[in-house]
Amino acid sequence: MGNSRIEQIIEEIEDYIDTCKGTLLSSGEKIIVNRERIEELLRELRMKTPEEIKRYQRVLANKDAIMEDAQQKAQAIIAQANIQNQELINEHEIMQQAYEQANQVIDTATSQAQEILDNATRDANEIRLGAIQYTDELLANLQDMMQRMVETSNLRYEAMMNNFQDFYNVIVSNRAELNPQQPQQETAQPEETQETQE
């Protein structure tokens, strides 16, 4: 903003005084002025002073209004910044909570999966051992049964062979009675036959 009219009038008075001539005996401390010119400048100064004061008051009022408006805008900006900052903090907290929850879910799922795998492995081992034990029991029973069958078959075979031998001896005895001349020859034949059968 340029100089006010009051400042201009004061500068004109100063310039006018500088151009005035001093008195002969004053050593430059006193000057001769044109009264009308000085009165004119002072009159204009008196007239402009209230107007300038009002103008300054308006400027000051506008300045206060501008400052108040600026403060309100600054406060609004600060409030908005605080809101945004709080939103960012809330979003960060939400993201942090979501991240922690995701980690918890992953940890829980991993633990459950490991537990399921361990249980499945244990069950499979138990089933495998049970199957081996069951199969071994079946084979043991089969072995016992086969052993009994073999023993029974041997006993039956031995009894049958004894019966055959007795029957054969009866036949030989009967033939010997029919033909007493060849008892030794006939008696020897069963032994050879028995050895052959064995």
Radius of gyration of the chain (CA): 71
Rounded mean pLDDT of 87-115? Answer: 87
Instruction: Tokens 């100064």: give the residue.
Output: 45
pLDDT tens sequence across 153-191? 888 888 889 999 998 999 988 888 888 665 555 444 555
Domain ranges in the chain? 157-197
From CA 89, how far away is CA 12, in angstroms rounded?
65
Task: List the one residue out of 53, 42, 37 whose CA is nearest residue 4.
Answer: 53
Is residue 192 over pLDDT 50? Answer: no
pLDDT of residue 165: 93
pLDDT of residue 29: 66
pLDDT of residue 1: 47
pLDDT tens sequence across 119-140? 888 888 888 888 788 777 777 7
Give whole-number Cα distances, 116 to 47, 111, 119, 193, in Å.
Answer: 102, 9, 5, 74
From CA 168, how far away is CA 172, in angstroms rounded?
6
Which residues, 6+ apart, have CB-to-CB distance to 128 below 8 Å? none
